[in-house]
Amino acid sequence: GAGVSQSPSNKVTEKGKDVELRCDPISGHTALYWYRQSLGQGLEFLIYFQGNSAPDKSGLPSDRFSAERTGGSVSTLTIQRTQQEDSAVYLCASSFGGRGTDTQYFGPGTRLTVL
Amino acid sequence: QQQVKQSPQSLIVQKGGISIINCAYENTAFDYFPWYQQFPGKGPALLIAIRPDVSEKKEGRFTISFNKSAKQFSLHIMDSQPGDSATYFCAASGGAPGGGNKLTFGTGTQLKVEL
């Protein structure tokens, strides 16, 4: 039943603080993606998980960004020493597999504001 | 480098009219072209998708036209309704070195359908 869920829905933090964003994918979906949506950059890919492995981390903008996935399910995106340019909506998507035609289902996103 | 270019940025259409949104891509490794619809405060949701082996795909009022030689594809919304008012994103995927189906998005089109 349930779709992709993300928490928190909104996060306000101060510059320099660390934040953790959580994604609960659809049950049974092996592929999980993180994207970032911002006014200046549009929708950008960050990282792709297949199971607990991350074969594509090419979109992570700096080493302040990291992500992990445990039990082939929940994923956490961590941003260390947040900067104002990190303010954006962080979207998580999951799909049944990682094939080209597997539909990605998006969560509602976490809106991050860095003051 | 913007690999998927989308136009127009915004579009106003009268109820019952046809909405047309255009996209062009550069990466010839792309082999999957979905369109996503996004309402305010929600994550994007898949609307319709096409593979390059066909030139057109229709689902209800929504049609994708695909021109492989020109590397262009477009979304047509027939009999546009006020409920279609949303932001539409074209996307493309394929050829990712790490596998998976990471999406490269266009910049989005804000559609408003007026009564």
CB A108 within 8 A of CB A10: no
Per-residue pLDDT tens over the stretch A49-60: 999 999 999 999
Domain coordinates in residue numbering, chain A = 1-6+31-98
A44 CB within 8 Å of a chain B CB: yes
Chosen from B50, B88, B102 to mutate, greatest number of chain A CBs within 10 A: B102
How close A25 gets to chain B, by Cα (Å)?
13
Distance CA B103, CA B13 (A): 28
Contact between chains at A108 and B42 (C-beta distance less than 8 A): yes
Match domain A1-6+31-98 to its CATH number in 2.40.10.220, 3.40.50.300, 3.40.228.10, 2.60.40.10: 2.60.40.10
- The pLDDT of residue B2 is 64
- The pLDDT of residue A82 is 98
CB A32 within 8 A of CB A75: yes
CATH code assigned at B86: 2.60.40.10
Peptide bond into B44 cis (omega under 30): no
Chosen from B39, B53, B101, B109 to mutate, greatest number of chain A CBs within 10 A: B101
Distance CA B16, CA B114 (A): 9
Contact between chains at A100 and B42 (C-beta distance less than 8 A): no
Largest pairwise CA distance in chain A: 40
Per-residue pLDDT tens over the stretch B18-34: 999 999 999 998 999 99
Q: Which two structure tokens, joined as six digits, stand for B35? A: 């369109």
The whole domain housing B17 covers: 4-114
Residue with tokens 């006014």, as numbered in its chain: A39
Distance CA A53, CA B97 (A): 14
- Average the pLDDT over A88-98 and give the result: 93
For residue B82, what are the CA distances in angstroms to A107, B89, B108? 24, 18, 18
- Residues of chain B contacting residue A32, judged by C-beta atoms under 8 Å apart: none
What is the DSSP annotation of A39-62? TTTEEEEEEEEETTEEEE-TT--S
Asked whether residue B7 carries a pLDDT value surpassing 90, the answer given is yes
Q: Which two structure tokens, joined as six digits, stand for A3? A: 């779709």
- Residues of chain A contacting residue B91, judged by C-beta atoms under 8 Å apart: 43
Domain count for chain B: 1
Distance CA A109, CA A78 (A): 15
- The pLDDT of residue A100 is 72
A46 CB within 8 Å of a chain B CB: no
- The pLDDT of residue B100 is 77
Query: Exposure of A59 by Cβ count < 10 A (0-12 exposed, 13-18 middle, 19+ buried)?
Result: middle
Asked whether residue A1 carries a pLDDT value surpassing 70, the answer given is no
Per-residue pLDDT tens over the stretch B85-113: 999 999 999 877 767 789 999 999 999 99
CB B86 within 8 A of CB B24: no
B40 CB within 8 Å of a chain A CB: no
- The pLDDT of residue B56 is 96
Q: What percent of chain B has pLDDT over 90?
A: 89
- Residues of chain A contacting residue B41, judged by C-beta atoms under 8 Å apart: 108
- Residues of chain B contacting residue A99, judged by C-beta atoms under 8 Å apart: 101
